[in-house]
Structure 1
């Protein structure tokens, strides 16, 4: 039997299984989601003990948590696992979207997509044509209608089409292909978008629509500073406690 060494001597370990790692990840995820960003959740040893798993299984759980953008890890005195700041789209991938079994892949795709957005905005600033911007504004109208209707599913799908249309203006084939594949992963494994039963959704959808509309207009007038500021806000502006995580 494999054993891991501790100060108290060897203790048995269980084999790494997806189920055990997922259970441990879910337990820590519950702590992270209810904590203020930056809050220390505990040391690795403390959280592993809480979950009752081996080092190898805990490491796999930690990989899942980091892929979903739920925790950050700091070393040294006072280190450990901390609740991470999540962008609205990462929160969307972790909570509002009803996903199939590929939840981890979707969360990873959302994080990578967020990281690529500034590159595509830079390209759109200089390569998008008036016809490109006309098509983006048509999609923005769809987002506005979905917001008026309080329809998060229609809104999110229109949002993805807008991002895909922005990406299509890039002259870099590899970047366009990578981004399109990420969107395919996100959309292909999304079963539905869950409405929020406690708070009105339409005001937040309108807020997100306005942000995207401002982004498109900033790109259209080649206002690089404003466009990059808006795409940064797109990734980092979180909804307040009275709104769903969208």
Structure 2
């Protein structure tokens, strides 16, 4: 476990968000044991909010109980990976289509700036991975559909279980940066069908990269 955090959690929600963040960042990778006492010490809180946070994460499928090991970060099997990306493709593509319809000029400009920055991060896998999350979140917000965003947020929770990043593959970093640029230009033109098509292809390419990574394990 990393060193104890100096920032105290003030509620069960804080404990949940911080444990989820540690899973999402890879600090707590799939298969990692989750001991209440260690997590409570790390967060600087009692075990009660930690226990509640773990129950919530278990209900969402992010935490599991394993014989002889106890509570661990859940791991996606091969079929679950495919199921997750199938849903992601539909939701992300819909968000891009609605962004092409509803995004304000200011939102388009922000997306353009993000995409341009990604081209400067093609040698930085970790940096591009974080920028990629912010980029997709901005597209989702630019769709201006609260119900879609609720579904996307629920999906984001499950994406935290993806181990590592496909941006460890140099060819994926370069391709993703160009795909982001193309999606933004379609959104800027208000071309809903093209934005949707490009977003679908983008997620599909990401899934192929995931399969490639999994085949190397």
RMSD (Å) for aligned C-alpha atoms: 3.2
* Matching residue of 1:179: 152
Q: Residue 176 of structure 1: CA displacement?
A: 0.7
What CA distance in whole angstroms lies between the structure 1 residues aligned with 2:157 and 2:136?
Answer: 12
The residue that corresponds to 2:73 in the other structure is 101
- Give the CA deviation at 1:226: 2.4
Alignment of 1:67-86 (within 5 A): none
* Residues 1:217 and 2:217 are matched in the alignment: no
Q: Which is richer in strand?
A: 1
Runs (5+) with no aligned partner, structure 2: 1-71
Distance change in 2, residues 1:239/1:171 (3 Å): closer
Which one has a bigger Cα radius of gyration?
A: 1
State the distance in 2 between where 1:111 and 1:211 align. 19
For 1:126, the equivalent position in structure 2 comes to 101
Q: Which residue pairs with 2:111 in the alignment?
A: 136
Structure 1 partner of 2:175: 207
1:191 shift after superposition:
5.8
1:158 matched to 2:126: no
Measured after TM superposition, the shift of residue 245 of structure 1 is 4.7
Residue by residue, what CA displacement relative to the aligned partner does 1:67-87 show, whole Å, maximum 9, x if unpaired?
xxxxxxxxxxxxxxxxxxxxx
After superposition, the Cα gap between the structure-2 partners of 1:169 and 1:209, relative to the gap in structure 1 and judged at 3 Å, is: same
In terms of fraction of residues, the more helix-rich structure is 2
> What is the count of residue pairs matched by the alignment?
139
Query: Contact between 2:97 and 2:193, CA under 8 Å: does it hold in 1?
Result: no
Task: Give the unaligned 5+ runs of structure 1.
Answer: 1-99
Higher RCO (CA-CA < 8 Å; seq separation 6+): 2
Measured against aligned partners, the alpha-carbon deviations of 1:151-208 in whole angstroms (never above 9, x if no partner) come to 2222222112111111102232121111022123323x45643775xxxx43431121
Taking structure 1 as the reference length, what is the TM-score of the superposition?
0.47
